[in-house]
Structure formats: structure tokens, C-alpha cells
């Protein structure tokens, strides 16, 4: 009997890599008919959807088609004030007084409802953000539910998280999230804050508000007391109004280092607690004794997962000099097999860039790489005509001072550098203002431990990359921010401990 793969290899003689490139999958589109996107969404304040004070709404689009999906309310400082007052009332009158086990039950309920609606949430996340459905279906949404389940369990066990101490909530938390993992970032922010007894005003990113607003509907369905979670949509100015509101006790921000610095300046000298999860330029270091094929998969996942819109993306690849040739060859072959296109196709590996502005930024940085003399290699994939797209790309011959080795590109673009000794790898890897994450690929356990001690990064993966779990803390060093999210550490920023 002849198998499909044998047939393919006979039909496409030549090196195995070209056979793989010629292999075409039939479309396998996720259906959208079970998904209900409202034509317009209002602000979620005090348990109800209310019109914005500005009476203005902005369009939210599908970046893969540029088609309009819905209209989102533009919240302003008045709306933020309304939301903070509701959050304060709910904090003083209901949430902080509620027995912790009861609080936990609401959080469990939210987790279960996310699971129940996971298929629709995945489709909306993909339509609004551009990420492949297999990622939103298998990673974003299940992890968001897992975060709520995990922190629901902590609600009545805070005394065990902080033994022999007196623990109390902080009050009203203002939380601002980015567009790369919309629902997951909302879960990272909301779940620990709620478990610790705080109330919340959340500001989603302008381009990807839809799943946060569906989460608001879930919160209504879970019958969370009104005002415990408020969601105020809008642009950067809405976030700035939340940061400067005098009755907010804590700001949690995930986004760019530039805005993070602005927020740090705005909160300096106030009573507000602050955690910042900012950008990164992570080193992914491959030693000559690494299992190469496994490392190639880790490199691919490290930079092309979610179109490279990942703060901890392995965007600087450091390869030991003796294995540069096979690594580059395998990388070139492998990116030729990545399927770029319709994010709703279950076979798609790389979806659409989140916005035109982000696409322009990627193009500008890629042009700078070429101008500075690095050698570019791009997948020859066909890109759709409409929408925002960028082919998987890597650069070789990158100098440490090149912008593509220093600045966060936040797109599917990898810079390849080389090293000779472990000391040189550490020195080069740490030569960045960032310090969020790193990867190490080697057969030697002792080398992994030694590298982990010397790399200035909050998360270090060994012989794997981009692995996330609610029990595991995540956060940065240096200009990647401070404070940890996830795990028991993630409770710390939301409690007073005496
Ligand atoms: P921003 O940091 O501007 O956005 C993050 C969040 O902050 C969004 O909700 C945004 O609103 C809001 N915001 C913007 N300005 C302010 C402000 N002055 N005060 C309070 N909140 C504010 O990231 P961008 O979306 O502009 O992306 C720019 C670059 O940042 C990317 O190219 C990428 O390099 C990096 N980035 C890094 C992320 C990370 O996780 N490390 C995540 C996202 C971006 P709005 O969406 O409406 O602008």
C-alpha cells in the first residue's frame, strides 16, 4: 500500500526540504456561524452595559480582512471616574466583606463559563486579533480558564500563601492590557486581584476589546456582584485617565516599555502600588550539543508563535559557531513549511499582524536591518491581498549594535547572532536593556543551571520555549518591568501583608 507521504515524495523528487515545501493542505476553516458579535458594545460599569459619556464609538476590525466586526465605546475620564466609583462602592460594601470561600465560588464560576464558551471565545479572539485559531483554541482560551481556576483555589487560602502574616486586599485595582493575548492578559490581571479581595477597572487594548466584552457578559452570567469588575474600553487616553485617577490603589500594566515608563512617572509619589510587565528581546541560546531538530522547533515556536507579537519571544537567536551552518539550513527549510494565511484555518501556523500600525513598525525595523548590512531570509509564502501580513523572516550577519538586535520588533522577525564560549553567550545575551525571558538548548544539565544563574531574565526555559502555566510566576528584570504574575508570587501585588 502507498501512503500519502510516500506518494508526495515520489511526486516531488529532490531534497526532503523541497518535498515539504510543495505539500499543500486543504483548507480547514473553523466555522463562525455559532458566534454572536454584537454590532455595538458599550462600557461595562456597575454590572451593566452603559453608553459612554462621549457618545462616541470606534470601529474594531478583523486584521486578516480589514472588515469591520463591531463598534466599541470610547470611554473618557468621566467614564473612568464612574467605573472607579462603582469599584470603590463594591469593594467597601460587598467584595472585601464577603467570606473568601464565597469569593472563590464566583471565580470558579467564571472559569467554568469560559470553558463552556471556549469555542466562541477562540473564534472571536482570532477574528479580532489575527492569531491562528489553533493557538487561540489550544492556548489562549484554555490558559485563561486555567488562570481563573488556579486563583479561585487561592481565595480562601491566602493565610497559607503568607503564613504567620495578616493579609488584606489593597482596594481598587486599575488594570491595562495589550492586544497580543487579549483574553489571557485579562485573566492574568483579573483572577489574582479578585481572589485577593480587590475590585477592578480594566482597560483592554483599543484593537482587541471584543473578548474582554464577552468576558463582561460572562461576568454578568456568573452574577458577580455589580461593580466588582468594570471594563472601560478606549484608547491610550482612557488608560492614562485610569492611571491618574486618585482613588485607584494599584495599577497593573502590560505593554510597551515606553508607556510603562510614562505610567511609572505618573504614579511616582502617589500611594499607588505598581507592577509593570513590559517588552523583551529574549536570547534563545543553542549550544553545539543541543538536540538540533528539537531546538529548531523551539526556535520556530519562540519567534513565530502569535506572529512574534509576544513580549517573551525568542527574538535573538544565539548559535554556537560550530553549528551555524546546519542550524541556518534547517531554519530556512522549516520556515518554508510554515503556513501563513487565514487565521481561521485550522492548518494556519502564522496569522495576520494585529494592526496596520504594527505592520508599519515591523517593516521599518526590517528595513533598518537591511540598511545596517544584515542578510535577510524570508519565507516565499504567498500573502493574502487584503489584511496585514508579514512573511516569517530571519536575519543573519547581525551586529550586536544593530537596531534589529536591540529593539523589540514584535513581529515574525528573528535576528541570528553567534558565539564561541558559554561566557561569550552570557555576555551577549545580557547585552540588552530588557530581561524578560531566555532559552537555553544543551544536553548538559549542569550547563543549563550555570547559564540560568548568569542570564538576567525573569523566566528561563531549558530545551523548550514559550511554556506557560498559571502556577508559574512570570515577569522581568531591568526595562522589562517589575512584579510577578502567575503562581503564588502573583498574589503578592494584590495584598497588604503585615
Ligand atoms: P502600548 O504600551 O501603547 O499599549 C498597551 C496598553 O496601554 C493598551 O491598552 C494601550 O491602549 C494602553 N495605553 C497606551 N498609552 C497609554 C498611556 N499613556 N497610559 C495608560 N495606558 C496607555 O503598546 P502598543 O499597542 O502601542 O504597542 C507598541 C509597541 O509596544 C509594540 O510594537 C510592541 O513592541 C510593544 N508591546 C509590548 C507588549 C508586551 O507585552 N511587552 C504588548 C504590546 C505592545 P491602546 O491599545 O488603546 O493604545
For residue 276, the surrounding DSSP H or E stretch is: strand 273-277
What pLDDT, on a 0 to 100 scale, did the predictor assign at position 120? 98
Alpha carbon nearest to ligand 1 atom 22, residue: 236
Cα–Cα dist 486/312, whole Å = 15
Task: At 158, list the grid cell.
Answer: 491566602
- Judge if pTM exceeds 0.85: yes
Cα(457) to centroid(ligand 1), Å: 21
What pLDDT, on a 0 to 100 scale, did the predictor assign at position 21? 52
pLDDT, tens digit, 9 for 90 and up, residues 133-149: 999 999 999 999 999 99
Kindly list the catalytic residues.
277, 311
Q: Which atom of ligand 1 is nearest to the CA of 280?
A: 41
Taking CA atoms, 364 is separated from 73, 256, 433, in Å, by 31, 17, 21
The answer to whether the beta carbons of residues 208 and 129 sit under 8 Å apart is: yes
Cα(264) to centroid(ligand 1), Å: 14
Q: Which atom of ligand 1 is nearest to the CA of 278?
A: 41
Binding pocket residue ranges, ligand 1, CB within 6 Å: 176-180, 203, 205-206, 235-236, 239-240, 243, 254-256, 259, 262-263, 278-279, 311, 358, 361, 408, 410
Cα–Cα dist 468/143, whole Å = 8
What pLDDT, on a 0 to 100 scale, did the predictor assign at position 8? 36
| Residues 6+ positions from 127 with CB-CB distance below 8 Å | 32, 35, 37, 62, 64, 69, 210, 343, 344
What pLDDT, on a 0 to 100 scale, did the predictor assign at position 57? 98
Alpha carbon nearest to ligand 1 atom 38, residue: 255
Radius of gyration of the CA atoms of the chain, in A: 23
- Candidates 129, 245, 259, 390: which one to mutate for ligand 1, based on the most atoms within 8 Å of Cβ? 259
Taking CA atoms, 171 is separated from 128, 242, 246, 335, in Å, by 32, 14, 12, 48
The rounded percent of the chain whose pLDDT value lies above 90 is 95
* 144 closest CA partner among 101, 172, 112, 179: 112
Cα(256) to centroid(ligand 1), Å: 5
Task: At 118, list the grid cell.
Answer: 471556549
What pLDDT, on a 0 to 100 scale, did the predictor assign at position 2? 33
Alpha carbon nearest to ligand 1 atom 16, residue: 236
Cα–Cα dist 220/50, whole Å = 13
What pLDDT, on a 0 to 100 scale, did the predictor assign at position 150? 98
pLDDT, tens digit, 9 for 90 and up, residues 316-361: 999 999 999 999 999 999 999 999 999 999 999 999 999 999 999 9
Cα(494) to centroid(ligand 1), Å: 22
| Residues 6+ positions from 115 with CB-CB distance below 8 Å | 142, 145
Alpha carbon nearest to ligand 1 atom 15, residue: 236
| DSSP output for 26-80 | PP-BPP-TT----SEE-EEETTEEE--TT--EEEEE-TTT--EEEEEE---HHHH
The answer to whether the beta carbons of residues 279 and 475 sit under 8 Å apart is: no
Q: Which atom of ligand 1 is nearest to the CA of 235?
A: 47
Cα–Cα dist 465/472, whole Å = 14
Cα(206) to centroid(ligand 1), Å: 9
Alpha carbon nearest to ligand 1 atom 47, residue: 235
What pLDDT, on a 0 to 100 scale, did the predictor assign at position 24? 77
Q: Which atom of ligand 1 is nearest to the CA of 311?
A: 41
Q: Which atom of ligand 1 is nearest to the CA of 262?
A: 18
Cα(259) to centroid(ligand 1), Å: 6
- Candidates 128, 236, 407, 413: which one to mutate for ligand 1, based on the most atoms within 8 Å of Cβ? 236
- Give the residue ranges of the chain where pLDDT is below 50: 1-19
**Look-up of cell digits 502574616:** 165
Q: Which atom of ligand 1 is nearest to the CA of 263?
A: 19
pLDDT, tens digit, 9 for 90 and up, residues 281-319: 999 999 999 999 999 999 999 999 999 999 999 999 999
Alpha carbon nearest to ligand 1 atom 18, residue: 240
Cα(108) to centroid(ligand 1), Å: 30
Cα(294) to centroid(ligand 1), Å: 33
Cα–Cα dist 285/302, whole Å = 11
- Candidates 207, 209, 256, 475: which one to mutate for ligand 1, based on the most atoms within 8 Å of Cβ? 256
Amino acid at each position: 500500500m502507498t501512503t500519502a507521504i510516500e506518494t508526495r515524495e515520489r511526486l516531488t523528487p529532490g531534497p526532503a526540504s523541497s518535498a515539504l515545501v510543495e505539500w499543500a493542505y486543504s483548507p480547514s476553516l473553523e466555522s463562525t456561524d455559532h458566534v454572536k458579535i454584537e454590532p455595538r458594545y458599550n462600557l461595562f460599569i456597575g454590572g451593566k452595559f452603559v453608553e459612554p459619556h462621549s457618545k462616541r464609538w470606534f470601529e474594531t476590525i478583523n486584521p486578516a480582512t480589514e472588515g469591520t466586526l463591531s463598534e466599541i465605546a470610547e470611554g473618557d475620564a468621566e467614564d473612568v471616574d464612574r467605573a472607579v466609583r462603582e469599584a470603590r462602592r463594591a469593594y467597601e460594601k460587598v467584595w472585601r466583606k464577603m467570606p473568601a470561600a464565597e469569593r472563590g465560588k464566583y471565580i470558579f464560576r467564571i472559569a467554568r463559563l469560559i470553558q463552556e464558551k471556549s469555542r466562541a471565545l477562540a473564534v472571536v479572539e482570532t477574528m479580532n486579533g489575527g492569531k491562528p485559531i489553533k493557538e487561540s483554541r489550544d492556548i489562549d482560551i484554555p490558559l485563561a480558564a486555567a488562570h481563573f481556576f488556579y486563583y479561585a483555589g487561592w481565595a480562601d487560602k491566602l493565610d497559607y500563601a503568607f503564613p504567620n502574616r495578616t493579609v488584606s486586599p489593597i482596594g481598587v485595582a486599575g488594570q491595562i492590557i495589550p492586544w497580543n493575548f487579549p483574553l489571557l492578559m485579562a485573566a492574568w490581571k483579573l483572577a489574582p486581584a479578585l481572589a485577593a479581595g480587590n475590585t477592578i477597572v480594566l482597560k483592554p487594548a483599543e484593537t482587541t476589546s471584543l473578548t474582554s466584552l464577552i468576558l463582561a457578559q460572562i461576568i454578568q452570567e456568573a452574577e458577580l456582584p455589580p461593580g466588582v469588575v468594570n471594563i472601560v474600553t478606549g484608547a491610550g487616553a482612557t488608560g492614562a485617565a485610569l492611571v491618574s485617577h486618585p482613588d485607584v490603589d494599584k495599577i497593573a500594566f502590560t505593554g510597551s516599555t515606553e508607556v510603562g515608563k510614562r505610567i511609572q512617572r505618573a504614579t511616582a509619589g502617589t500611594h499607588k502600588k505598581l507592577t509593570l510587565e513590559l517588552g523583551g528581546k529574549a536570547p534563545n541560546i543553542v549550544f553545539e550539543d543541543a538536540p538540533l531538530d528539537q531546538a529548531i522547533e523551539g526556535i520556530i515556536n519562540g519567534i513565530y508563535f502569535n506572529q512574534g507579537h509576544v513580549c517573551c519571544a525568542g527574538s535573538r537567536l544565539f548559535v554556537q559557531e560550530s553549528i551555524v551552518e546546519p542550524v541556518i539550513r534547517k531554519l530556512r527549510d522549516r520556515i518554508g513549511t510554515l503556513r501563513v494565511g487565514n487565521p481561521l484555518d485550522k492548518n494556519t501556523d502564522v496569522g495576520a499582524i494585529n494592526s496596520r500600525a504594527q505592520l508599519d513598525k515591523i517593516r521599518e525595523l526590517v528595513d533598518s536591518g537591511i540598511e545596517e548590512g544584515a542578510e535577510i531570509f524570508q519565507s516565499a509564502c504567498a500573502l493574502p491581498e487584503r489584511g496585514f501580513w508579514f512573511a516569517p523572516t530571519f536575519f543573519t550577519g547581525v551586529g550586536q549594535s544593530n537596531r534589529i538586535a536591540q529593539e523589540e520588533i514584535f513581529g515574525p522577525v528573528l535576528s541570528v547572532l553567534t558565539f564561541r564560549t558559554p561566557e561569550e553567550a552570557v555576555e551577549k545575551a545580557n547585552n540588552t536593556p530588557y530581561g524578560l525571558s531566555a532559552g537555553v538548548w544543551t544536553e548538559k544539565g549542569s550547563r543549563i543551571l550555570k547559564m540560568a544563574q548568569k542570564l538576567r531574565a525573569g523566566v528561563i526555559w531549558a530545551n523548550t520555549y514559550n511554556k506557560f502555566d498559571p502556577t508559574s510566576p512570570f515577569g522581568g528584570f531591568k526595562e522589562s518591568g517589575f512584579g510577578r504574575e502567575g503562581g503564588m508570587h502573583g498574589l503578592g501585588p494584590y495584598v497588604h501583608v503585615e
